[in-house]
């Protein structure tokens, strides 16, 4: 018995020979030579199915290459359209040749988490291209009507839940967390988040709908400790790890709950929503998430709170040290910029989040990126012009702690960078600078040259050791920077100890009252690093 698969085909001549042999025939006189039949059955091809796609959108497959045929083969499709070698898409039947490149296009479902398929047939060999849409909490930057970019840049975090962005900045996903536990099953609440895309100043709103689920409260009359309103901040009721707290503000006028935590009383506006309570509900019960001192106020929109409730949760601390560092992958000028976190923790938690705030230079430092990811790396597109990126990052283990929030302000060489973070747990603050200098750049940093009146030496910037200038008390030293140079002929400005100097004169007079250190710097308006455009450093020394 001969077993034939789709590619094991016998020519007419071979079949005739087999027939003659079976009949006792054969020999040279019985052999009939016929031309081989055309081979129009290709090798099996396979499409790469895709998930997390936009709803009601045209989705194009990765290409497949037709192989294994020596004659034109029929091609047809169900559920979509195909294109051969970049030609126009069509749903009509046609023919393909060996080594032709074919892509398939279909319209994705108009519902979340739904699949659509297109079936391509070439010479009776078939495969399906399957497309599944993203879930109801996912949004794609490419869905927004903004042609500047397909990457998210700034995502304003909501008070309830959290929006996580993918490492390549193309996808944003809303996580309700516990923020909507107060909703009953069947109830919904909408959350709107403002976002912008990379390279665009246009603002967009993303709207998500959170749904209530059946909940079983861990707090009841047996394990709940009633906390009464108090005007004495030092009167903290002790709460054990097994206990819930119950607060009743119903005797007071309308308001909402506001939380302050820790010994320093830092405000934590999201505490109530993070543990799944409605801030407008005047009666709440919950188990304190971590150890520490709590002050919950029932407050109007403006003015003093109607009532304050103080308690201290006594339980084991979950605080642990996070050990991280930040690194930028070496790259060529035309490659994307990959920023990575390196971990030296002994026990790396899988629940860590990464809040990236990246400023770039556009006549002053401006926010380029402000997103939260679950990935420990982020990729920025390659750029073809000189720029500086200042990266601030908070790595957070998402274990709720009572340390409160903090603000970081950095005084940079040309302007102030301010970053504000609300921490959700144990954290590590990291930062780095990225100086982008393409090979095609024609810019060059200025060079500082300082002359001191009465001294013939020309002091050049970049000195490893400070220049020593001996002086007497109450004498004056005149620093003259007018011999500084700039290849691009830009207008130069000067600073002495980061204080601006009158650029018209290019001179600064220092009254010497004590021994001191002096840095003399020059700028052409671009934020060159100190290594690229070094200052000149002086030690002014008075006799002992």
> Any idea which architecture 324-436 has in CATH?
Sandwich (2.60)
Do 541 and 515 touch, CB atoms closer than 8 A? yes
Report the range of poorest mean pLDDT among 13-27, 428-442, 443-457.
13-27
Which value, to the nearest 10 degrees, does the dihedral of the CA atoms of residues 148, 150, 155, 158 take?
Answer: 120
Residue range 130-142: mean pLDDT, rounded: 95
Q: Is the pLDDT score of 290 beyond 90?
A: no
> Given this model, what pLDDT does residue 21 score?
46
Look at residue 86 in the predicted model and tell me its pLDDT: 96
Region 276-290: mean pLDDT is 91
CB 181 within 8 A of CB 215: yes
DSSP 343-407: E--SS--TT-EEEEEEEEESSSEEEEEEEEESSSEEEE---SS-EEEEEEEEEE-----SS--EE
Ranges 10-19, 269-278, 337-346, 357-366: which has the least confidence:
10-19
Please state, for a pLDDT cut of 90, what percent of the chain lies above it.
61
Torsions phi, psi for 13 (to 5 deg): -65, -45
Q: Is 271 helix (H, G, I), strand (E, B) or coil?
A: helix
Domain parsing of the chain, residue ranges: 50-133, 138-211, 224-314, 324-436, 449-541
| Average pLDDT over every residue of 253-262 | 90
Q: Determine the pLDDT at residue 403.
A: 55
Name the residue among 397, 385, 415, 430 with its Cα closest to residue 495.
415
Q: What is the pLDDT of residue 2?
A: 32
Residue 1 has pLDDT above 90, yes or no: no
E-state strands within 156-198: 162-165, 171-175, 188-197
- 473 alpha carbon, distance to own chain's centre: 55
* Maximum Cα–Cα distance across the chain: 127
- Residue 9: pLDDT band by 50, 70, 90 thresholds? very low
- For residues 27 and 524, what is the distance between their CA atoms, to the nearest angstrom? 96
| SS3 (DSSP) at 143 | helix
State both tokens at 49: 């199915």
State the sign of the Cα–Cα–Cα–Cα dihedral 472, 473, 475, 480.
positive
Is there a shared CATH topology between the 50-133 domain and the 324-436 domain?
yes
pLDDT category at 502 given cuts 50, 70, 90 is confident
pLDDT, one tens digit per residue, over 366-424 is: 899 999 999 999 999 988 889 999 999 999 887 776 655 556 666 666 667 777 777 77
* CATH number 1.10.3470 is the correct assignment for the domain at 224-314: no
**Tens of pLDDT along 93-118?**
999 999 999 999 999 999 999 999 99
| Helix/strand number for the chain, H first, E second | 2, 41
Q: What is the pLDDT of residue 417?
A: 79
Query: Residue 194 CB: number of other CB atoms within 10 A?
Result: 13
**% helix / strand / coil in the chain, to the nearest 5?**
5, 45, 55
Measured between alpha carbons, how far is 213 from 427 in angstroms, rounded to an integer?
Answer: 31
Q: Distance between CA atoms of 205 and 72, rounded to whole angstroms? A: 51
Structure tokens at 526: 């671009």
Which DSSP string do the residues of 317-351 spell out, in sequence order?
-------EEEEE----TTSPEEEEEEE--SS--TT
pLDDT tens per residue, range 157-196: 998 899 999 999 999 999 998 889 899 999 999 999 999 9
Q: Pick one of 3.90.226.10, 1.25.60.10, 2.60.40.10, 1.10.150.110 as the CATH number of 449-541.
A: 2.60.40.10
| Segment holding 20, helix H or strand E | helix 12-22
Average pLDDT over residues 33-38: 82
- State in words which class domain 50-133 has: mainly beta
pTM: 0.79
Confidence of residue 425 (pLDDT cuts 50, 70, 90): confident
For residue 76, pLDDT over 70 is answered with yes
């Amino acid at each position: 018995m001969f077993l034939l698969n789709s590619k094991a085909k016998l020519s007419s001549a071979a079949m005739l020979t087999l027939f003659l042999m079976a009949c006792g025939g054969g020999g040279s006189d019985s052999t009939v030579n016929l031309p081989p039949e055309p081979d129009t059955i290709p090798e099996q091809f396979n499409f790469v199915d895709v998930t997390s796609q936009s709803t009601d959108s045209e989705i194009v497959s990765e290409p497949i290459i037709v192989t294994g045929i020596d004659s034109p083969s029929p091609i047809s499709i169900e559920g979509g359209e195909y294109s051969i070698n970049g030609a126009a898409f069509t749903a009509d039947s046609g023919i393909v040749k060996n080594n032709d490149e074919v892509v398939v296009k279909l319209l994705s479902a108009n519902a979340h988490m739904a699949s659509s398929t297109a079936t391509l047939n070439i010479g009776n060999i078939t495969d399906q291209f399957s497309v599944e849409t993203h879930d109801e909490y996912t949004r794609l930057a490419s869905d927004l009507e903004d042609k500047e970019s397909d990457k998210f840049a700034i995502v304003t975090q909501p008070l309830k839940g959290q929006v996580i962005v993918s490492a390549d900045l193309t996808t944003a996903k809303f996580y309700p967390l516990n923020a909507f536990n107060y909703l009953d099953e069947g109830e919904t609440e909408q959350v709107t988040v403002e976002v912008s895309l990379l390279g665009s100043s246009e603002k967009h709103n993303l709207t998500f709908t959170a749904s209530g689920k059946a909940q079983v409260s861990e707090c009841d009359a047996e394990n709940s400790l009633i906390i009464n309103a108090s005007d004495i901040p030092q009167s903290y009721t002790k709460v054990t790890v097994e206990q819930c707290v119950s607060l009743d503000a119903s005797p007071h006028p309308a308001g909402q709950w506001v939380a302050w935590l820790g010994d320093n009383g830092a405000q934590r506006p999201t505490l109530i929503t993070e543990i799944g309570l409605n801030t407008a509900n005047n009666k709440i019960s919950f188990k304190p998430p971590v150890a520490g001192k709590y002050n919950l106020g029932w407050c109007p929109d403006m003015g003093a709170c109607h009532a304050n409730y103080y308690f201290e949760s006594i339980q084991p601390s979950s605080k642990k040290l996070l050990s991280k560092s930040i690194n930028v992958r070496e790259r060529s000028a035309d490659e994307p910029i990959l920023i990575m976190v390196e971990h030296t923790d002994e026990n790396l938690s899988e629940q860590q989040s990464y809040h990236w705030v990246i400023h770039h230079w556009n006549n002053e430092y401006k926010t380029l990126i402000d997103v939260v990811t679950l990935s420990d790396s982020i990729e920025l597109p390659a750029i073809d012009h000189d720029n500086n990126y200042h990266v601030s990052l908070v790595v957070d283990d998402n274990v709720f702690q009572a340390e409160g929030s903090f603000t970081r302000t950095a005084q940079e060489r040309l302007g102030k960078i301010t970053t504000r973070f609300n921490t959700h747990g144990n954290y590590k603050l990291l930062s780095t600078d990225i100086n982008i200098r393409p090979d095609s750049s024609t810019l060059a940093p200025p060079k500082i040259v300082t002359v001191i009146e009465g001294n013939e030496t020309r002091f050049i910037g970049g000195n490893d050791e400070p220049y020593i200038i001996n002086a007497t008390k109450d004498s004056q030293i005149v620093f003259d920077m007018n011999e500084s140079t700039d290849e691009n002929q830009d207008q130069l400005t000067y600073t002495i100890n980061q204080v601006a100097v009158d650029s018209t004169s290019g001179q600064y007079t220092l009254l010497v009252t004590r021994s001191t250190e002096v840095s003399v710097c020059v700028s052409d308006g671009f934020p060159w690093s100190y290594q690229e455009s070094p200052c000149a450093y002086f030690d002014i020394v008075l006799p002992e």
